[in-house]
Amino acid sequence: MEVDNLRIRVLNGVYPPSEDTYLLTDNLPRISSGLALDMGSGTGIIALKLARGADRVIAVDINLKAAINTLLNAKLNELSSKVDVICANLFYPFRRGLKFDLITFNPPYLPVNDGNGALERSWSGGRGGIEVIKGFLYMLPTFLKEDGKVLMVISSLTDLGSLKRIASRKGVSIKMVKRVWVGLFEELYLLELKLSSTKSLN
């Protein structure tokens, strides 16, 4: 498949580009430098778009097949010199002191437990759809620059109340950037997160 002039292959067992992916890719800021992190890279489509502007992009996915898929697509699009791929869980492989200008995250946000398979874990967010997001928020202040920001996708099915409380405790502000309907009963929300003493969810 081709998306935004990028050639994208999707390996078996890897979450394919979907509505939530495109909500991110269609709203990425234009960047001309800096260090970016694509958390939960999947096929790598977001990391590759970021690599067109950022000095360096690190792509992380807990699914080994997804990490391989990201690397494959980086090579396919001749962007592997700007993209480092790591198979890991959230921020755990990083040392303190590493700070990102921009982080993108398409987390498992559905309030379900659909099994322990690598593909199922890409959408199964556990209780409230926030089990993975909680771990992300706990560590975020350590790895985000003071003037940096996060773009993250969640669903109207996600427990927003708990998400807001956790973010508030960590000194993270939340702003709704965009919302789109998917089907009749669910919306996707694109959130912008920053380190701030001001907390809001518009």
Is residue 201 one of the residues assigned to a domain?
A: no
Give the Cα separation of 178 and 162 in Å (integer): 20
Per the structure, the complete domain to which residue 140 belongs is given by 2-195
**Rg (alpha carbons) of the chain, rounded to whole number:** 16
Give the Cα separation of 19 and 25 in Å (integer): 10
**Pair of tokens at residue 143:** 């790895």
CB count within 10 Å of CB 170 equals: 16
pTM of this structure: 0.91
Q: What tens digit of pLDDT does each residue of 124-138 get? A: 667 887 899 999 999
Is residue 189 one of the residues assigned to a domain?
A: yes
CATH code, domain with 109: 3.40.50.150
Q: What tens digit of pLDDT does each residue of 141-172 get? A: 999 999 999 999 999 999 988 999 999 999 99
At position 149, the amino acid (one-letter code) is K
- Residue 26: half-sphere exposure toward Cβ, Cα within 13 Å: 13
Exposed e or buried b for every residue in 113-123, given b needs 16+ CB within 10 A? eeeeebbebbb
At position 115, the amino acid (one-letter code) is G
Give the Cα separation of 171 and 113 in Å (integer): 29
Asked whether the beta carbons of 63 and 119 are under 8 A apart, the reply is yes
Give the chain's domain count. 1
According to the model, what pLDDT value does residue 199 have?
40
Is residue 148 one of the residues assigned to a domain?
A: yes
Is residue 202 one of the residues assigned to a domain?
A: no
Residue 70 in this model has a pLDDT that exceeds 50: yes
Is residue 68 one of the residues assigned to a domain?
A: yes
Residue 71 in this model has a pLDDT that exceeds 90: yes
Is residue 111 one of the residues assigned to a domain?
A: yes
According to the model, what pLDDT value does residue 200 have?
40
3-state class of 130 per DSSP?
Answer: coil
